[in-house]
Amino acid sequence: MSEPKPESARSAVDSVVDAVRGLVSEGINRRVVVRDSKDDVVLEVPVALGVVAALAAPVATTIGAGVALVSKCGIKLENREQPAAQPPATTVESERI
DSSP, residue by residue, 3-34: PPPHHHHHHHHHHHHHHHHHHHHHHHHEEEEE
Map residue 60 onto helix, strand or coil. helix
Query: In whole angstroms, what is the distance from residue 32 CA to residue 10 CA?
Result: 36
pLDDT for the residue numbered 48: 80
Spatial separation of the C-alpha atoms in residues 27 and 24, rounded to whole Å: 5
Q: What is the pLDDT of residue 7?
A: 64
Q: What is the model's pLDDT at position 59?
A: 92
Q: Which of 65, 74, 4, 6 is nearest to 38 (CA)?
A: 74
pLDDT of residue 30: 84
What are the per-10-residue average pLDDT scores of the chain (97 residues)?
A: 60 75 74 87 86 87 86 84 54 52
